[in-house]
Amino acid sequence: MPAVVVHGLDQAAAALAAAGARGVLLLSAPGAGGFAGAGWFLALVAAARRRHPQSRCAAALDCADAAGSALTALRAGVGIVILDGASPAFGAVAKAAGETGALLLPARPAALDLAGLDLRRRDDLASLAGWLAMEAPQGSPTSPAP
């Protein structure tokens, strides 16, 4: 399932609309688990799903190397959590993820970062649609961190 980085409800809803039944992985900004929190992310995904209930999606919250944020996300019900695989607590968090039925990823998947797109523009919507149509994304067009 192709991934897109979303920073707000309009982006998440646009990704779901463009993906439809094909599906999309809604991915938080890097480290969002620590600064935005699991509650915000879960609410964002739920609101986007209400706008496009026919669209398939999964959602992953990036907690960077913050094991505490990852554990908080798991307790809040986030189904896919990203924690840097080099984190000393990765094993303990992986055990907790297994107990909750969540998936813990050691790195971010390749993703299209919607922060660089204006989804009111036809060309940018076409870029999103093209990314979502790829069978196996090659490389990552994510913007470098500021």
Per the domain annotation, does 72 fall within a domain? yes
CB-based contact 115:7 (threshold 8 Å): yes
- Residue 46 in any domain: the answer is yes
What's the predicted TM-score (pTM) here?
0.88
Domain of 22 in residue numbering reads as: 3-133
The arrangement of strands across the sheet holding 24-27 comes to: 103-105, 80-82, 57-62, 24-27, 3-5, 111-113
88-143 pLDDT per residue, tens: 999 999 999 999 999 999 999 999 999 989 888 999 989 999 999 985 444 444 43
Is there a domain that residue 32 lies in?
Answer: yes
How far is C-alpha 36 from the geometric centre of its chain's CA atoms? 13
- The confidence score (pLDDT) of residue 135 equals 55
What amino acid is encoded at 108 in this protein? Answer: R
CB 83 within 8 A of CB 65: yes
The mean pLDDT of the chain is: 91
pLDDT score of 140: 41
* Domain count across the chain: 1
